[in-house]
């Protein structure tokens, strides 16, 4: 029986142990997917002694059920669509365009809210650990990997405390490495694997970015 994580902090700490080979390396950066993924990524970055930034991606939810991903968009104009689900639901290009436009507006709002005047970290030639709090269908992470590849990193490591076993297999051929703490075969949603899965706020994301990147965030600080 695979146990649930207490919260995203514990998930990040356990994930960091799996990523220990990347600790204290100057060529490693950690990118979290807002919002929940940033909380996990903050623990990973803190314990690895790596800089933390965010990578903005928005899921495209189906009109009848926003939890059902028909695709995702990411910074840099990347859009990934799930053709099978779109065909099954009979969605037109106009409907998909309207959903994409709405999520693009939110992606740009978050970019301004989270980053402010802080420039993004340079990823070219770096080992990038791309972190989310969990991976179900993988649509969001697919968009993130595609967008990140365009920026020329040396290596992309997809990482999460939990992910569907089938999705882990998918990413094995797409990312350079996939690291998860648990990969259940029966996976109905990320939230089922956390005792505390409350929504992360914009304010918490900004605070985490500032705290982890403040010289020097001590690896021994916080919960252990």
H/E element, 182? strand 177-182
Residue 77: count of CB within 10 angstroms of its CB:
9
Q: Indicate whether 188 belongs to any domain.
A: yes
The larger pLDDT score, comparing residue 61 to residue 155, is at 155
pLDDT band of residue 215 (cuts 50, 70, 90) is low
Residue 146: band (very low, low, confident or very high) from pLDDT cuts 50, 70, 90? confident
The answer to the question of residue 221 being in a domain is no
Q: How confident is the model at residue 222 (pLDDT cuts 50, 70, 90)?
A: very low
Give one DSSP letter per residue of 37-91, joined into a string. HHHHHHHHHHHHT--EEE--EEEEEETTEEEEEEEEEETTTEEEE-HHHHHHHT-
Q: Give CA angle at 205 (82, 189), nearest 5°.
A: 40
pLDDT for res 221: 43
- 142 within a domain of the structure (yes/no): yes
Helices H, strands E: what count in the chain? 7, 8
Q: Is residue 99 part of a domain?
A: yes
Q: How many domains does the chain divide into?
A: 1
| Residue 220 covered by a domain | no
Position 2 in a domain? no
**What is the rounded distance in angstroms from the CA atom of residue 51 to the CA atom of residue 153?**
15
**What is the model's pLDDT at position 138?**
86
26 in a structural domain? yes
- pLDDT tens per residue across span 173-208: 899 999 999 999 988 889 999 999 999 998 899 888
Q: Is residue 187 part of a domain?
A: yes
pLDDT at residue 153, as a whole number: 96
Range of the domain at 135: 8-212
Taking only the tens place, the pLDDT of each residue in 2-52 is 679 999 999 999 999 999 999 999 999 999 998 899 999 999 999 999 999
Residue 223: pLDDT above 90?
no
pLDDT band at 59 (very low <50, low <70, confident <90, very high): confident
Q: Given the DSSP bridges, would you call strands 155-162 and 65-74 parallel, antiparallel or unpaired? A: unpaired
Give the CATH number of the domain where residue 132 resides: 3.40.50.2020
pLDDT, the chain, mean: 89
């Amino acid at each position: 029986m695979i146990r649930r994580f207490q919260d995203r902090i514990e998930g990040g700490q356990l994930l960091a142990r799996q990523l220990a080979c990347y600790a204290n390396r100057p060529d490693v950066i950690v990118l979290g997917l807002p919002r929940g993924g940033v909380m996990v990524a903050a623990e990973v970055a803190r314990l690895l002694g790596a800089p933390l930034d965010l990578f903005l991606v928005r899921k495209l939810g189906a009109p009848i059920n926003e939890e059902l991903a028909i695709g995702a968009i990411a910074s840099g104009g990347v859009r990934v669509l799930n053709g099978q689900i779109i065909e099954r639901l009979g969605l037109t290009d106009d409907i998909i365009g309207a959903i994409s436009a709405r999520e693009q507006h939110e992606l740009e709002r978050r970019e301004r809210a989270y980053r402010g005047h802080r420039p993004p970290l340079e990823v070219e030639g770096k080992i990038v650990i791309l972190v989310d709090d969990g991976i179900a269908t993988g649509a969001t992470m697919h968009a993130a990997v595609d967008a990140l590849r365009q920026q020329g990193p040396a290596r992309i490591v997809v990482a999460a405390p939990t992910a569907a076993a089938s999705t882990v297999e998918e990413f094995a051929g797409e990312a350079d490495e996939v690291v998860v703490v648990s990969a259940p075969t029966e996976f109905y949603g990320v939230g089922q694997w956390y005792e505390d899965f409350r929504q992360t706020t914009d304010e918490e994301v900004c605070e985490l970015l500032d705290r982890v990147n403040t010289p020097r965030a001590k690896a021994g600080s916080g919960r252990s």
